Amino acid sequence: MIRKIVFVGLILLSVPLFAQAVPSVYQPFQPLKDDGYVQIWNINFSGKGYHIDLIYMISNVGPGTLNNGISMLVYSGGQSRSFTREHTDESLRVVVGQFGMSNRSGELKMNAGRVEARAEFDQANVQLEIQPGSSGMLMPDWKLRGAEFFRIGLPILRSPARLTLQMDGQTVELTGVASMDSIIANTLPHEYAKRLYLFRGPSGQFQMTGYLDKEKSYKLKLYYGNGANRREDRIVSLTSEAEETEPFSGYVLARVWKIAGESGCSYEIRRGEFRGGMYILQSVSPFLRWILRTFFAKPFILNYESTLSVRCAGKPTFNERLWSSYFLLNE
């Protein structure tokens, strides 16, 4: 209860650092009083052989007053490296209804129509600028037990980006493309899921999110189509093929998903090239690691470039490369 009072008090006292209005798909800061509240903004960058994730998170879960942090995953040359900084509520600066956050290690904000991100770690620093293009999509809420829910936004599907990475005493200037996801929930995922999935295509024509529940049943929402023609295509059947042990995490994953939609369209997703992974317990402090073990036995984040093939009656086959993220919690 004390932690919640401090958390709410911080919000009320925050100064307006991020005054620029943004579309709701960015999911501006929306603190919830529920014990499992968590809000995340995740940026994916690709360019010149580098694949980098920047993750900004706020939660009231703790432990203690540790309620916010920044993580970075760098994948290059076939190697993954991850960095995390955890902070107490004393350094968190946020404004209700505004996009972004800042703490002692960095910030995320909208500035003159651009998304700007900065993060500093013991062995790496990064600065990123994205020029958003067409608007993304705010997915409908996932309704769980009672009033529990989680919501995923895809504010940036694929936009030009510039990134400066300082690591191991070297500075690398990169140009490439970036996407961005936003997540808010009022319950921790281990309560309802073993795995979370996020598949998104740069054209905006295909998005699929969901989870594998504790009974190992897939709960997925699939959207297909352009602009006003984009609709949810309810999944009639899903089969997984070519299961194999993924070497980075040790989890068994399917190489191919075949999906039949209520519309009559069929979708085939082939998991492709590995684009980096993070063992979450390895990159956090011993104290937080001890807390997280009570929720997640074996938590990993894995990224892939996958291929999508869509066949609908009377229409040409649609093919696209997807950015696929797997959030693996428990086996």
The CATH class for the domain spanning 188-331 reads: mainly beta
CB 37 within 8 A of CB 31: yes
Per CATH, which fold does 1-187 belong to? AttH-like fold (2.40.370)
Check for a shared fold between 1-187 and 188-331. Answer: yes
**Residue 106 has what DSSP assignment?**
E
pLDDT score, position 191? 72
Task: Give this prediction's pTM.
Answer: 0.84
Beta strands at 231-232 and 218-224: parallel, antiparallel or unpaired: antiparallel
Mean pLDDT by 10 residues, the chain (331 residues): 37 42 72 75 92 86 67 91 80 81 88 91 93 75 76 85 94 93 79 82 83 82 79 89 90 92 93 86 50 57 92 92 87 71
CB 321 within 8 A of CB 217: no
pLDDT score, position 12? 35
Residue spans of the domains in the chain: they are 1-187, 188-331
The H-assigned helical ranges of the chain are 2-13, 286-292
pLDDT score, position 65? 61
| Residue 288: φ, ψ to 5° | -65, -35
Residue with tokens 């493309």: 177
Residue with tokens 């490296």: 81
